[in-house]
Amino acid sequence: DGGITQSPKYLFRKEGQNVTLSCEQNLNHDAMYWYRQDPGQGLRLIYYSQIVNDFQKGDIAEGYSVSREKKESFPLTVTSAQKNPTAFYLCASGAIDVNTGELFFGEGSRLTVL
Amino acid sequence: AQSVAQPEDQVNVAEGNPLTVKCTYSVSGNPYLFWYVQYPNRGLQFLLKYITGDNLVKGSYGFEAEFNKSQTSFHLKKPSALVSDSALYFCAVRDPLSSASKIIFGSGTRLSIRP
């Protein structure tokens, strides 16, 4: 059945290490997003992509990088430049009429920096 | 710039009573508005949306929301709360005049339903 798969669900990282979070969707959606969730702050947009090989920075892109080589995949790399990376990361996708359509979310990846 | 506010961090309601979770927004054009629910350590699930038309929209699990343009509000409601409604609720807005893909979320309201 269709949906969005994020992996890993839990990830631990030492300071100074890069880590990549996977996001795969089989909903045939053009748009994909990465959000960061911290307690009491809601969801903040990191990066989004409306089409393959193109993506835009969101509100908190510093210290993160993404790629969109395939329609189905939108991996997020948390680099060592991200000062406070411990958070819950959510990937989402939306249909081509993204203005009026709702987003579909994965189950999230919780990153903890030791 | 577009924004959305959820003025209550937490709402407590007794089971069987009506519930309201508040949301106000600010956009430059006519807004597209959404409500999502999140259970612990899970992703967000879509509940309902307002794009145009009838100001009262109905969604999943018996929830509904009323769009009020003059008050720039989009409050989530349910006539009779269930314990299973306890979760974190997010309001979201998209301004059709801004970047096509940018959707802004509120800070969330934790709904707690006591038996």
DSSP string spanning A83-109?
Answer: S---EEEEEEEE-SSTTTSPPEE---E
Share the mean pLDDT of chain A: 91
Return the structure tokens found at B65. 């929301």
Predicted pLDDT at A97: 67
CB contact under 8 A, A108 and B41: yes
- B78-109 as b/e: b if 16+ CB within 10 A: beebeeebbbbbbbbbbbeeeeebbbbbbbbb
Residue reference for tokens 């006539």: B79
- For residue B6, list chain A residues with Cβ-Cβ distance below 8 A: 42
Phi, psi angle pair for B83, to nearest 5°: -60, -35
- For residue A104, list chain B residues with Cβ-Cβ distance below 8 A: 46
Residue A1 pLDDT > 80 = no
- Tell me: the pLDDT tens digits for A36-83? 999 877 899 999 998 999 999 998 999 999 999 999 999 999 998 888
Confidence class for position A32, pLDDT limits 50, 70, 90: very high
Preferred mutation among B32, B90, B95, B101 to probe A, highest tally of A CBs within 10 A: B101
Phi, psi angle pair for B84, to nearest 5°: -70, -10
Cα–Cα distance list, A96 to A71, A76, A103, B11, B38 (Å) = 12, 21, 11, 35, 24
Confidence class for position B52, pLDDT limits 50, 70, 90: confident
State mean pLDDT over B40-49. 92
Return the structure tokens found at A62. 């510093």
Select from A40, A50, A108 the Cβ nearest to the Cβ of B43. A108
Preferred mutation among A102, A105, A110, A111 to probe B, highest tally of B CBs within 10 A: A102
Query: Closest by alpha carbon to A76, among A22, A40, A33, A10?
Result: A22
Residue B12 near residue B26, CB atoms below 8 Å: no
Proportion of chain A above pLDDT 70, given as a percent: 95
Residue A22 pLDDT > 90 = yes
Chain-centre distance for alpha carbon A41 = 17
Residue A34 contacts B where some CB pair is shorter than 8 Å: no
Residue A104 contacts B where some CB pair is shorter than 8 Å: yes
State mean pLDDT over B12-34. 93
Which one is predicted more confidently, B50 or A102? Answer: B50
